[in-house]
């Protein structure tokens, strides 16, 4: 059977590579986005470099002083300490997981660190999470050389340590049972095998085949008592010695662990030689809704406390987590220290936050990550109130394989990125080079939580494919990956952005860019079929763009007048303009919140405005129906087969029907509906931001597993996909009609 590509990472990387707005597996819209409401500078062919601040803006001297005050030795040493102190700040394998003792100890450590560098009002903000603590593990097969144990740093480095537990409960002591090689862990791999009470060994590819919970559910359905996995590709490719784990979305079904490819080779050899008595011991605890994660907060108070800026990173990790995210936490601390040491006096409160439980913190959810940040925004709701920007950080100190660094942001900040490169405030170090074309934010980090709470954000580009496929979530994310030029460049640009946003009275948030995204994502043919007056819809888009441009131009004019007042020493005019800017900020932040509430959709890893995924689903459904009508191949050589369209449905989650049980695949799709979470008290950041899914599971499985069209029940397929199409067209009519009203709401906020 021909296999197709699917996974969170695959879709994420594809979306980023295509800047979200091309037709992608997770739902782009075709073509590149138009120019935003204001003009965006073109990307420099050779990238952006600048050795010194050349700006004459009012904050330029403060930025220079900040750059001079940055203590790179401090930044590196703190990142190293957070990564390598396994005695005090980590569990036995080096982990710091949600609500664990190690996470709590590190929160206490960071409180002292925040205080030592001069931050004020330092506190630990606790919030509820699902606790996961991984203490130790071992795996032995009788009469063989399979004997993995030891959870100290030396054993981890040598690759001889026990298997790594996913975020589920362990074995409750020794589990001794037969271990069975179940190959790729697909439904067909369990056929004819008795797995009841036994341990399944499964080769996983979470980048190209399925996420870990799908493998878990298939093993559980087969009756397995535990699951041992190893990655053959996709992740952990730094070497055959690396063990890789990701976050678990499904519920606590069975003990599930990962081993390295080298270890798996020994296990398979033992099984082949008839040695199958395996003793697995996993001391891991997962407590549903029974943990507390702490977000460490400190601040530099501003001259006014009416507005704020947040600079953040997360401190939970796997193994060393040197890049992800220990260096990011040290970057936040280094920025804070440099601001304090340079005696920067901000206009607004600047908060520095180390978030807990970013990697995972909620079981039985597709929105299981960025849990600590969710707690900050939900349980400490004053943080996102009147927040001008959140500047988040991830993996900030490795050299991108593609050569150039980048900045990622919500679409409304794309124009600001161009402005900053033109400002003369951004410096680079050594061989570091920026691409001036920003990428649109996805859902991959804590920024998504702030975004849905109405806070626009920026983050460094951390999406390098080589690092993610090789080092990410393995012991290869270590200090050997460190690049001083990249790290210093990131620190400098974070400081410059924060000072620019803080100093200028008006937030340069280009709210009219929403209109461009709605227009590019709009499919007139489907809209007309849904009963929409497309001329009226596009007229509303045009009016929205005009309102956004007016608001953006007002902000730019306010800031220009402020710069002139400061240059002329006119304190009264400057103060008046600060008041004027604050009023403009209220309007654009209100408009941004309405935009997130009414137009933002989470399509797995991509972040879309409007009905992108619905339009895509209709396109794929029509591909199936026309393929059936024209008796096309099941899998086309040019991607034009019936199954090529079928597997793309629902952000490519229909691909699970190709290899896994239909009920398991169906549950995965259900987890992208609000109904799934309605009675679970699991709102999280994705709730209320889901496009409708379609349910054609049985026939999708039949199509994807067929050899020819003769293997497909054509009448059933036409009926199922036809009904799904009718349902989406009906939804589209309601949604697009509502969007016209919502566009007016956004425009009204800007008046």
In this prediction, residue 150 has a pLDDT band, given cuts at 50, 70 and 90, of confident
Q: Hey, what are 374's tokens?
A: 């969710």
Instruction: Determine the Cα–Cα distance for residues 323 and 439; give it in Å rounded to an integer.
Output: 20
Beta bridge partners of 164: 258
Higher pLDDT, 501 or 8: 501
Q: Where are the beta strands (DSSP E) in 346-461?
A: 349-355, 387-392, 407-409, 439-440, 457-460
Q: What is the mean pLDDT of residues 72-97?
A: 96
Residue 5: pLDDT above 80? no
Give the CB-side neighbour count of residue 712, counting CA atoms within 13 A. 30
| Residue 38, pLDDT score | 45
Q: Is the pTM of this model over 0.85?
A: yes
Alpha-carbon distance of 430 to 146, in angstroms, equals 47
The full set of domain ranges for the chain reads 45-130+289-503, 132-287, 513-520+531-600, 604-735
pLDDT in tens, 564-596: 999 999 999 999 999 999 999 999 999 999 999
Q: What is the pLDDT of residue 70?
A: 98
Q: What is the mean pLDDT of the chain?
A: 92
Strand partners, 259: 230
Give, rounded to a whole angstrom, the gap between the first and last alpha carbons of the chain.
58
Q: Which two tokens stand for residue 389?
A: 């920007």
* pLDDT > 90 in the chain, percent: 87
Alpha-carbon gap, residue 107 to 102, rounded angstroms = 9
**∠647-528-720 over CA atoms, to 5°?**
35
| pLDDT at position 681 | 66
CB 316 within 8 A of CB 131: no
Question: Angle formed by the axes of helices 484-503 and 60-69, to 10°?
Answer: 150
Q: Please list the residues that pair with 178 across neighbouring strands.
A: 277
Listed residue (270, 278, 450, 428) closest to 375, CA to CA: 450
CA distance 220 to 250: 12
CA neighbours closer than 13 Å in the CB half-sphere of residue 397: 29
Residue range 345-352: mean pLDDT, rounded: 98
| Sequence-distant (≥ 6) Cβ neighbours of residue 381 within 8 angstroms | 453
What is the distance between the alpha carbons of residues 431 and 615, in angstroms, rounded to a whole number? Answer: 43
User: Strands 457-460 and 407-409, how do they pair?
Assistant: antiparallel
DSSP 51-86: SS----STTHHHHHHHHHH--HHHHHHHHHHHHH-T
Least confident of 398-412, 525-539, 547-561: 398-412
Q: What is the mean pLDDT of residues 39-60?
A: 78
What pLDDT score was predicted for residue 37? 53
* pLDDT higher than threshold 70 for residue 43: no
Whole-number pLDDT of residue 234: 87
Do 200 and 221 form a contact (C-beta atoms < 8 A)? no
CB 181 within 8 A of CB 193: no
For range 281-286, the mean pLDDT: 97
Q: Residue 293's Cα: distance from chain center in Å? A: 19
CATH for 132-287 (3.50.30.30, 3.40.50.300, 3.40.1230.10, 1.25.40.10): 3.50.30.30
Look at residue 670 and tell me whether its pLDDT is greater than 60.
yes
pLDDT-derived band at 14 (thresholds 50, 70, 90) equals: very low
275 pLDDT band, cuts 50/70/90, is: very high
pLDDT grade for 25, boundaries at 50, 70 and 90 = very low
By percentage, how much of the chain surpasses pLDDT 70? Answer: 94
Compute the average pLDDT of residues 158-182.
Answer: 96
Residue 65 — very low, low, confident or very high, per pLDDT cuts 50/70/90?
very high
d(CA 193, CA 675): 36
Give pLDDT tens digits for 647-660: 999 999 999 999 99
Instruction: Please give the CATH topology (third level) of the domain spanning 45-130+289-503.
Output: Aminopeptidase (3.40.630)
pLDDT at residue 12 above 50? no
Beta bridge partners of residue 109, listed in sequence order: none
Do residues 21 and 618 touch, judged by C-beta distance below 8 A?
no
The residue assigned the tokens 């996961």 is: 132
**What pLDDT is attached to residue 46?**
74
Residues 465-520 have pLDDT tens digits of: 899 999 999 999 999 999 999 999 999 999 999 999 999 999 999 999 999 999 99
């Amino acid at each position: 059977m021909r296999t197709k590509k699917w996974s969170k990472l695959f879709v994420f990387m594809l979306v980023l590579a295509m800047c979200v707005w091309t037709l992608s597996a997770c739902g782009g819209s075709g073509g590149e986005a138009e120019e935003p409401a204001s003009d965006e500078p073109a990307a420099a062919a050779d990238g952006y470099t600048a050795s010194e601040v050349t700006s004459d803006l009012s904050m330029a001297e403060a930025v220079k002083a900040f750059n001079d005050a940055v203590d790179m030795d401090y930044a590196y040493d703190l990142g190293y300490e957070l990564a390598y102190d396994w005695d005090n700040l980590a569990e036995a394998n080096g982990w710091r997981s949600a609500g664990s003792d190690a996470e709590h100890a590190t929160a206490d450590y960071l409180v002292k660190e925040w205080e030592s560098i001069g931050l004020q009002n330092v506190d630990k903000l606790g919030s509820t999470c699902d606790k996961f603590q991984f203490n130790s593990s071992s795996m032995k097969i009788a009469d063989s050389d399979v004997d993995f144990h030891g959870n100290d740093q030396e054993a981890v480095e040598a690759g001889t340590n026990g298997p790594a537990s996913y975020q589920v409960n362990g074995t409750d002591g020794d589990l001794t049972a037969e271990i069975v090689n179940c190959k790729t862990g697909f439904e067909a791999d369990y056929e004819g095998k008795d797995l009841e009470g036994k341990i399944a060994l499964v080769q996983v590819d979470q980048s190209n085949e399925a996420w870990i919970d799908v493998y878990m559910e298939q093993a559980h359905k087969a009756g397995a008592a535990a699951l041992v996995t190893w990655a053959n590709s996709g992740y952990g490719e730094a070497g055959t010695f690396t063990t890789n784990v990701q976050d678990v979305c499904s519920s606590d079904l069975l003990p599930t662990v990962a081993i390295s490819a080298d270890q798996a080779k020994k296990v398979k050899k033992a099984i082949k030689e008839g040695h199958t008595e395996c003793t697995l011991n996993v001391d891991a605890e997962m407590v549903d809704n029974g943990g507390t994660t702490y977000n460490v907060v400190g601040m530099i108070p501003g001259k006014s406390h009416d507005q704020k800026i947040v600079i953040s990173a997360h401190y939970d990790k796997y193994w060393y987590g040197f890049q992800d995210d220990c260096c990011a936490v040290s970057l936040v601390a280094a920025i804070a220290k440099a601001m304090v040491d340079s005696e920067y006096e901000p206009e607004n409160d600047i908060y520095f936050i180390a978030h807990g439980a970013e990697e995972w913190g909620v079981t039985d959810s597709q929105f299981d990550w960025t849990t600590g940040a969710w707690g900050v925004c939900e349980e400490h709701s004053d943080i996102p109130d009147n927040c001008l920007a959140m500047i988040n950080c991830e993996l900030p100190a490795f050299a991108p394989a593609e050569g150039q660094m980048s900045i990622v942001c919500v679409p409304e900040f794309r124009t600001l990125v161009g402005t900053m490169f033109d400002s003369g405030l951004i410096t680079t170090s050594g061989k570091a080079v920026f691409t001036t074309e920003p990428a649109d934010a996805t859902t991959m980090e804590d920024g998504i939580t702030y975004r849905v709470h109405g806070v626009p954000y920026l983050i460094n580009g951390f999406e390098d494919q080589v690092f993610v496929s090789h080092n990410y979530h393995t012991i290869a994310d270590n200090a050997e990956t460190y690049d001083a030029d990249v790290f210093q460049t990131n620190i400098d640009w974070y400081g410059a952005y924060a000072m620019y946003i803080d100093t200028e009275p008006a937030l340069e948030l280009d709210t009219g860019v929403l209109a461009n995204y709605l227009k590019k994502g709009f499919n007139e043919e489907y809209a007309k079929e849904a009963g929409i007056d497309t001329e009226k819809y596009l007229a509303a888009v045009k009016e929205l763009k005009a309102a956004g441009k007016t608001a953006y131009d007002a902000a730019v004019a306010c800031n220009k007048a402020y710069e002139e007042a400061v240059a002329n020493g006119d304190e009264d005019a400057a103060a008046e303009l600060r008041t004027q800017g604050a009023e403009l900020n209220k309007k654009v932040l209100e408009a941004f919140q309405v935009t997130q509430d009414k137009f933002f959709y989470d399509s797995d890893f991509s972040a879309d405005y409007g009905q992108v995924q619905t339009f895509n689903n209709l396109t794929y459904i029509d591909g199936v129906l026309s393929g059936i009508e024209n008796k096309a191949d099941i899998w086309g050589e040019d991607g034009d087969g019936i199954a090529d369209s079928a597997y793309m449905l629902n952000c490519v989650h229909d691909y699970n029907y190709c290899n896994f049980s239909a009920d398991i695949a169906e549950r995965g799709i259900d987890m992208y509906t609000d109904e799934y979470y309605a009675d679970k008290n699991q709102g999280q950041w994705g709730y209320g931001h889901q496009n409708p899914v379609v349910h054609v599971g049985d026939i999708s499985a039949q199509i994807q597993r067929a050899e020819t069209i003769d293997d497909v029940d054509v009448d059933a397929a036409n009926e199922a996909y036809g009904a799904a199409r009718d349902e989406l067209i009906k939804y589209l009519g309601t949604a697009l009609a509502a969007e016209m009203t919502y566009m007016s709401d956004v425009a009204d906020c800007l008046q």
